Structure 1
Amino acid sequence: MDYEQLDDSSTDDKDIKPIIAPKCEMGLSPNLSSGPKRWSPGSLQDANRKSAFLPYRQSLCTVLTNLQRGNTQAETPVPQSADINFHTKAGQGEITEHDIDCEKSVDVCDCHGLTALHWAAAYGQYNTVQLLLANGAEIDKMGPEEETALTLAASGGHHDVIRLLIDKGADVNHPDHLCNTPLMYAARGNHPHSCQELLLHGADFRLHNLNGDTAHVIAVENNSTLAQAVITNFIISQLDPGS
């Protein structure tokens, strides 16, 4: 299977900004990416057990994903000025040095405990992540569910942001409050390039979450075939380095 031809996070070359929806309920689409696939917080539950692999609380208020359900691109309405703030601008990739200087701290949190770095990483805004880190953003600062910027980048399949964060010292095996690692999120989202990036930089495929599942098990159970292939091949290479 030729997963090398696929892009983890988007199939569109256009730079699409997150949609600002002033009147929507608080919360963010569980996917946190610009891709068309979505999954609900209860999607990993079955009749026999409650999965430990549940997404972090949906708490990036007012920002929605770029795509509607399915593969139809949503039109982007004109943002209302009152709804644009430091964090939403980070999600849109529009943070400037002046914006950072105007804040009391580059790590100032929104009303749900998420920083601009969390927002930028969640939406794959490479340049904004780079700018925030250059201005002292705490790379492994945790959100309300103990998620880090790397967790969010992995969930969205933003492998270029993943590489940047790891190069700058992010903990590649950081567990969230349910012991889910970035690799597990990338596996659940079927992001092969992200899985490869994480594995090549020290992600431990042997780690279990609170439900006892590894990243490979999560990929298998959720039919994430591309991610499964990457993880399987990596495991084989570790068992037989000469192969």
Structure 2
Amino acid sequence: MENRHEESALNHSTTLTNKQRGNEATVRPATLDVLSIHQLSAQGEISQVETHLAKDSFLLNNHDERGFTPLMWAAAFGEIAMVEFLLQKGADPKTLAWERESALSLASAGGFADIVNILLKHDVDIDSYDWNGGTPLLYAVRGNHLKCVEALLRCGADITFEADSGYSPIALAVALGHKKVQKLLEDHILKLFREPV
């Protein structure tokens, strides 16, 4: 009989509750009032960003730990209204992050053609390159973002620039099998040859 009692005790559930384990939430989850201006920009929270800027205008072009500004985060996440708002407030679209990323390269990599077009109107360096030689055009080609490639070509992006990997935009399009982007680049090259010098 004693054996049965021991067996029963061993089979008894040893599952602890969250309270017993000490896993109860002691702090409330992150809310809009505790997010940084960079996080709020990436989420498109214009009213919250405006509140931060009213308290400290220096935050407009402030770099985070990666060197990204609020404008870069908005561009990277496709937050067009935020991009427009930050530019209107005086955000610098020419700023480069610690590894030379730009708002234009981040928008190009994400395929956000509307943002690419907005940034191109602000006299940004269309051929700025980052730590591995990637340009906005190379990122747009890599992502197979046809409308971004069109916008960049229309504004004079350098089609001969090669990343550190050795790929030019056309070679990258061929290697990745992005046929529409490849045709677009080929047509652009032909057009350049036909233009009078």
Normalising by the residue count of structure 1, what TM-score does the alignment of the two structures yield? 0.63
Aligned to 1:101: 54
Map 1:71-150 to 2 at 5 A: 80-81=30-31, 84-96=35-47, 97-103=50-56, 104-150=58-104
Superposed displacement of residue 83, structure 1? 5.9
Superposed displacement of residue 206, structure 1? 1.2
220-229 or 168-177, which deviates more: 220-229
Q: Deviations over 1:194-235 (max 9, x none)?
A: 000000001010112223221111111112222212111111
Counterpart contact for 1:174–1:182, Cα < 8 Å: yes
Name which structure has the greater RCO, CA cutoff 8 Å, separation 6+: 1
For residue 106 of structure 1, give the secondary structure of its aligned residue in structure 2: helix
- In structure 2, what is the Cα distance between the partners aligned to 1:114 and 1:123? 13
Aligned to 1:208: 162
- In structure 2, what is the Cα distance between the partners aligned to 1:135 and 1:114? 17
Map 1:176-215 to 2 at 5 A: 176-215=130-169
Aligned to 1:15: none
- In structure 2, what is the Cα distance between the partners aligned to 1:231 and 1:165? 21
Aligned pair count? 164
Q: Among residues 155, 159, 173, which one is paired with 2:113 in the alignment?
A: 159
- In structure 1, what is the Cα distance between the partners aligned to 2:179 and 2:34? 39
- After the TM superposition, which parts of structure 1 deviate over 6 Å for at least 4 consecutive aligned residues? none
Largest Rg, 1 or 2: 2
Query: Over the residues paired in the alignment, what is the CA RMSD in angstroms?
Result: 1.8
- In structure 2, what is the Cα distance between the partners aligned to 1:164 and 1:138? 13
Matched letter for residue 188 of structure 1: R
- In structure 2, what is the Cα distance between the partners aligned to 1:221 and 1:157? 19
CA 1:83/1:98 → structure 2, altered by over 3 Å: closer, same or farther? closer
- In structure 2, what is the Cα distance between the partners aligned to 1:83 and 1:232? 49
Superposed displacement of residue 142, structure 1? 1.0
- In structure 2, what is the Cα distance between the partners aligned to 1:105 and 1:240? 48
Superposed displacement of residue 169, structure 1? 1.3
Q: Deviations over 1:48-99 (max 9, x none)?
A: xxxxxxxxxxxxxxxxxxxxxxxxxxxxxxx731763211111111123323
Using the aligned pairs only, state the percent identity.
Answer: 32
Aligned to 2:172: 218
Counterpart contact for 1:140–1:171, Cα < 8 Å: yes
Q: Deviations over 1:140-196 (max 9, x none)?
A: 111121010000000001010000001011111111122211000000000010000
Counterpart contact for 2:96–2:102, Cα < 8 Å: yes
Matched letter for residue 118 of structure 1: M
- In structure 2, what is the Cα distance between the partners aligned to 1:180 and 1:111? 21
Matched letter for residue 141 of structure 1: T
Structure 2 portions without partners, runs of 5+: 1-28
Which structure shows the bigger proportion of residues in helix conformation? 2
- In structure 2, what is the Cα distance between the partners aligned to 1:209 and 1:98? 40
